[in-house]
Amino acid sequence: MSCQTEYIFSDTFEVTDDVKRAFDETGYILLKDVLDKDELSKVEHTLTGSDAITKHMYLDTHDGDRRTDKVMWSFPGNDVTGMVARSEKIAGTMEKLLGGEVYHYHTKLMMKDAGTGARSVWHQDYGYWYLYGNLFPDMGTVFIALDPCTRDNSCLQVLRGSHKCGRLDHHRVIGQMGCDEERTQQIKEQCQLEYIEMDAGDALYFHCNLIHSSSDNTSTKRRWAFLTAYNRASNNPTIDRPHPQYTKLHKVSNSAIKSCTNYTDMEGKRFMNPGYKTILPNS
């Protein structure tokens, strides 16, 4: 019998035994309506109302005339985006899914613009996080859709239950770190391919070993996403670069997102460049 993986967020939503079981079995859950229209508007204003964040943008993926741009930072900060990453419905939910205290590993804004967004090859996040001193796969990501994500504009594709295969070897594929292609093809024959179509404000919580990808954005619609990665406190990396070792996450109530009026002060975020060297917030 197939596990339910889609739920609707409300003030009474809880990670029940059934929700945790679904996450453990499939490697992900989709939580609808996590951010409402007002919260999405505040996030959008923070991202586009000034260049406080986007001035740190760099080319993440390049494939011919297609590209995906990224901004990445290591600490959540106290602006609106920081409130999202520190909120109970984002961080607290992931904490319960991973089964223990988590801290903020990093956040990134992924920008696939209309008609030009480049594909992301099949990969596992732990495929390279493993190389950063994380000894255990006690990690996960929350992918928040800032725009509707459909098959046409490059929604995530996942191989359901593939996190149970463990970490795969990764190597360079069109300039990206991708899973071993032969093994991935074999896994596709066992693990169902799912297209995770999302409305703006929906959130996908997924395990670091879940194999996932996305296509080129050939549509006329932008596909921006806000992703926050978390690590279990018990899984403190053996090295402190490129992402931080355990740093206490000071969670906030869900209401902190709407009450926050800080759209431009990014003090403490520690932005990163493509070489994974730290950039001071105002450099």
The answer as to whether 70 is a domain residue is yes
The answer as to whether 124 is a domain residue is yes
> Binning pLDDT at 50, 70 and 90, where does residue 60 land?
confident
The answer as to whether 248 is a domain residue is no
CATH of the domain at 199: 2.60.120.620
Supply the pLDDT for residue 173.
75
> Binning pLDDT at 50, 70 and 90, where does residue 92 land?
very high
Task: State the total domains in the chain.
Answer: 1
The answer as to whether 47 is a domain residue is yes
Which residue segment(s) compose the domain that 201 sits in? Answer: 6-235
Whether 280 shows a pLDDT value over 50: the answer reads: no
The answer as to whether 251 is a domain residue is no
CA-to-CA distance for 252 and 270, rounded, in angstroms?
20
Asked if 116 and 217 count as a contact pair (C-beta separation under 8 A), the reply is yes
CA-to-CA distance for 234 and 170, rounded, in angstroms?
25
The answer as to whether 242 is a domain residue is no
The answer as to whether 72 is a domain residue is yes
Asked if 127 and 179 count as a contact pair (C-beta separation under 8 A), the reply is yes
Residue 77 backbone class (left: φ over 0; alpha: ψ -120 to 50; beta: rest): left
Whether 224 shows a pLDDT value over 70: the answer reads: yes
The answer as to whether 262 is a domain residue is no
Measured between alpha carbons, how far is residue 268 from residues 125, 240, 275, 279 in Å?
24, 16, 19, 11
- Flag the least confident range among 2-6, 182-186, 250-254: 2-6
> Binning pLDDT at 50, 70 and 90, where does residue 276 land?
very low
